Structure 1
Amino acid sequence: MKLYLITLAAFPFYSAESIHLAMFGKAMSKLCDFELLTPMKLWRRETWSFNLKKYYGIDVSDINQRKLLQVSPAGKSFVKRAIAIAANNGGLVYARQQVVAEEALKNSVGFVWEIHALPSAAGLKLIDSGLKAGLLKKVVVISHALKNDIVDSLGLEIAESILVAPDAADDSKFSYCTKRRGKLVVGYVGSAYPGKGAEIILPLARRCPDVEFLFYGASKNDVAIKGYGAVPDNLIFKGKVPYSEIPACFDEFDIALLPNQPKVIVANGDDIGKYTSPMKLFEYMAAGKVIIASDLDIIKEVLTHRYTALLVGHNDVDAWKQSLKEVLNDSELAGLLSVNARSEFSEKYTYSARARLIINSL
């Protein structure tokens, strides 16, 4: 049976969701009969492009994709036409937005629904209705925390219908290559949204003046950065970097920071902190970086203290400084964390492994 991933997300684009679609679509295209259906948005010309090399560093032939016109922001006509394509070909819909799942259920088309946050009451009802109708084949979530909350809402009997598949990274892009020459450098790749960790990185850099810090994803003049006080000379902001250039950035530092806070507020105002599965975490692991991360339950679903990372109190800057000093001064520990993180990634967290896990569950 052919699998049709239908999405309203802008593609190609520079967003994290767009990157996930590209890497996941590439992995799925290699493993099963798969097609990615994306909208050509009248107001966003990038989405008319098939130039995947520019945005993701992959070839257009890596993904079997089809584009349909989207004339309104709501995208209802796009979704209806995409669902009709899947239905007419006896396919299975892979949905990432509720509107796509709703249309599949309405038209009696089998579907999988991938969810990254706890659904609204209407979304929970959709899960219940889809399972009872036998049309919802699997709910895919990115963390055990999210699965547990959905089960708490709908009942233990649906637990087997929910698959936990954390985010991933492309192992062909992030080779196990760590700098480790001369003076060690600390790096962070990501945004400056509240809760992502800039509130730790700036004071940490101020307390470690002899250590060089690189921040990819923001500028020192960003409003969010200015809110955290003076930028020390040892903290260098690299600005936003296209995804296709990210792997090369990883060669510039040895120790990777993941200072997530319990609440992470993204561009649309949503708090993703409780359920997040940060893409950069898996990219750090893929590149064999020595990881220092927040000691949060959601992070501990992937990382193990003193085995694949050092885990630190999320808001304790002194503890972050102490952990940083430890890996700077203990090359044996740093090497162990690096090797173990890369090994765990290779076994569990490649996009190929994620795609295979989902396919085998259907």
Structure 2
Amino acid sequence: MKIACIATSQVPSSTANSIQVMKACQALAQVGNEVCLWVPGARGAEWAALAEQYGLITPFEVRWLPTRQVWRRYDLAWNAARAAKQWGARVVYTWAPQAAVFAQWRGLPAVLELHDRITGKVGPLWFRWFLQSRRPKRLLLITEALRAVLERQFGMALPAPVTQIAPNGTEMERYENLPAAEDARRQLGLPQGLTAVFSGHFYAGRGTDLLFELARHLPELNFVWVGGREKDVAALREKLAEANMENVVLSGFVPNAHLPLYQAAGDFLLMPYERSIAGSGGGDSAAICSPMKMFDYLAAGRVIVTSELPVLHEILNEHNAVFCPPEDAAAWADALRGLMRDPARRESLSARAREDAHSYTWKARAERALDGLRQA
């Protein structure tokens, strides 16, 4: 089946929304569909470069459409929906409500994936139009918490046959046959000894201050911080140098294709979210998020230590993760010290994490998203 995907994310980019789009599109292709993704931009990129940056295996077509800022991506949505129809798409899969509605206007079934609240003056109108359309449709929400927020916002229960909870996912094949932590550290030239790994950006709310305090209070534990924008990494290097802290390695940006090895190098994988989380697109996602790293951490089969945020309990539990109060460095340090002294508990948590990861693959997510739409 030909599936046209329409996203407002920049491609290529290191932002989480861009990575999520590319992973979702690949999964649609992996379950047997012909996929074409339309994104904004005047210039494209070669598939080899995209595959390296995003950690992709299965190719799909990406087309770039020029946009004008004054139209606030409405021109992308309109032109991409028109192009999808001309291309012969059977379904449009999008993260933009207006693109979903434009596809419906052109007689196409639409899948609308949402990661956040509906905002803006006309955003609620587009969302209602999407739901009211008689065309076959699917609404994907990344968490039950987001469903509750939207139902309160719109004062109605979202239709059960249409709405599906679709957490983000992982690719188990990328985490097969990973080396033991010691061997992964050796391959990457990292110091040996018990190691805590954080991967991701250093945006506000991601726990950067807590990471720093943990490294300062636990000199016996090695830390590897993977990712981040160049300016953020430079600022952290300077801060670490001023504090004479030598137990932290900052990798800088690492292509997604190489992330599994870095995650495998850790005995502990950290998710130190604060009570308020800023995303690459702005806003606060602490109450409704479905972090992609959480699923990759599960697949890596290492001990996950995470902030106690209610939404994370939709996936994590006391058997596959250790929860700590957000922004409480002392509590986090105590938890890590306890784990460092308890190899049996580390083994149990790691094994359960790996087992639970099989329930959250991108491919299974794609199959569920299309269920009932293939014959539409």
Fold match by TM threshold 0.5: yes
Moved more, 188-197 or 15-24: 15-24
Counterpart mapping for 1:75-86 below 5 A? 75-86=73-84
- What is the match of residue 170 of structure 1? 171
Distance 1:75-1:152 versus aligned 2 partners, 3 A rule: closer
Instruction: Between 351-360 and 307-316, report the one with greater CA deviation.
Output: 351-360
Q: Please name the residue that 1:215 is paired with.
A: 225
Quote the sequence identity (%).
24
CA deviation after TM superposition for structure 1 residue 100, in Å = 1.4
Question: How many angstroms does 1:33 deviate by?
Answer: 2.7
**Partner residue in 2 for 1:360:** 371
Query: What does 1:146-165 align with in structure 2 at a 5 Å threshold?
Result: 146-160=146-160, 161-165=162-166
Match of 1:19 in 2: 19
Residues 242-274 of structure 1, C-alpha deviation per residue, up to 9 Å, x if partnerless? 212212212322111111112112344322222
Q: Report deviation, 1:122.
A: 3.0
Asked whether the equivalents of residues 205 and 274 of structure 2 are also in contact (C-alpha less than 8 Å), the reply is yes
Give the SS at the match of 1:58.
Answer: coil
1:202 Cα deviation after fit: 0.7
CA distance in 1, matches of 2:372, 2:320: 28
Indicate conservation of the 8 Å contact 2:3/2:92, yes or no.
yes
* Cα pair 1:130 1:136 within 8 Å, conserved: no
CA distance, structure 1, for counterparts of residue 233 and residue 16 of structure 2? 22
1:183 to 2:193 alignment:
yes
Which letter does structure 1 place at the counterpart of 2:370?
A: I
Mean CA deviation greater in 189-198 or 226-235: 226-235
How many residue pairs were aligned? Answer: 355
Partner of 2:187: none
Q: Which amino acid aligns with 1:242?
A: P
Shift in alpha-carbon separation, 1:139–1:245, aligned structure 2, 3 A: same
Quote the residue 1:297 is aligned against. Answer: 310
Q: CA deviation at 1:326?
A: 1.7
Question: Does the CA-based 8 Å contact 1:202-1:231 persist in structure 2?
Answer: no
In the alignment, the residues of structure 2 paired with residue 123 and residue 76 of structure 1 have an alpha-carbon distance, to the nearest angstrom, of 12
AA aligned opposite 1:167: N
Amino acid at match of 1:116: H
> Is the deviation greater in 240-249 or in 75-84?
75-84
2:148 and 2:253 mapped to 1: Cα distance?
A: 35
C-alpha contact (below 8 Å) 2:180/2:265 kept by paired residues: yes
The reply to whether residue 251 of structure 1 matches residue 264 of structure 2 is yes
**C-alpha root-mean-square deviation of aligned residues, in Å?**
2.5
Q: Are the counterparts in 2 of residues 68 and 78 from structure 1 also a CA contact under 8 Å?
A: no
Paired residues of 2:299 and 2:354 also in contact (CA < 8 A): yes
| CA-CA distance at 1:221 after TM superposition | 5.3
- Cα distance in structure 1, aligned partners of 2:307 and 2:323: 5
**Matching residue of 2:188:** none
Distance change (3 Å), C-alpha of 1:8 and 1:194 = closer
Contact (CA 8 Å) 1:2, 1:91: kept in 2 or not? yes
Q: How far apart are 1:296 and its partner, in Å?
A: 0.7
Q: Give the aligned partner of residue 7 of structure 1.
A: 7
Structure 2 CA distance, aligned partners of 1:94 and 1:106?
14
Taking the TM superposition and a 5 Å limit, the aligned residue runs for 1:187-336 are: 187-218=197-228, 222-223=234-235, 230=243, 232-305=245-318, 307-336=319-348
- Assess if the C-alpha contact under 8 Å between 2:171 and 2:361 holds in 1: yes
The within-5 A match list for 1:3-152 is 3-39=3-39, 41-42=41-42, 45=43, 47-51=44-48, 52-59=50-57, 62-73=58-69, 74-88=72-86, 89=88, 91-120=90-119, 122-135=122-135, 137-152=137-152
* Post-superposition offset of 1:38: 2.2
Q: 1:267 to 1:29 in 2, by over 3 A?
A: closer
TM-fit CA distance, 1:289? 1.2
Supply the distance in 1 between the matched residues of 2:135 and 2:275 (Cα, whole angstroms): 35
Are the aligned partners of 2:196 and 2:224 in contact in 1 as well (CA < 8 Å)?
yes
User: Aligned pair in 2 of structure 1 residues 151, 39: CA closer, same or farther (>3 Å)?
Assistant: closer
What is the identity, as a one-letter code, of the residue corresponding to 2:350?
S
Equivalent residue of 2:316, what SS? coil
Q: TM-score, normalised by structure 2?
A: 0.85
Residues 172 and 231 (structure 1), Cα distance of their counterparts in 2 relative to 1, 3 Å cut = farther
Conserved? CA contact 2:286–2:309, under 8 Å: no
In the TM superposition, residue 175 of structure 1 has moved relative to its aligned partner by 2.7
Q: Which amino acid aligns with 2:152?
A: D
Question: Taking structure 1 as reference, are residues 40 and 196 closer, same or farther at Cα in structure 2, changes over 3 Å only?
Answer: closer
> Residue type matched to 1:95 in 2?
T
Distance 1:39-1:149 versus aligned 2 partners, 3 A rule? closer
Q: How far apart in 2 are the matches of 1:186 and 1:145?
A: 29
Q: What is the distance in 1 between the residues matched to 2:315 and 2:351?
A: 15
Q: Distance in 1 between matches of 2:288 and 2:80?
A: 29
User: Following TM superposition, by how much is the alpha carbon of 1:34 offset from its aligned partner in structure 2, in angstroms?
Assistant: 3.6
Q: Give 1:10 shift.
A: 2.2
Return closer, same or farther for 1:242/1:110 CA change in 2, 3 Å cut-off.
same
DSSP-derived class of the 1:130 partner: helix
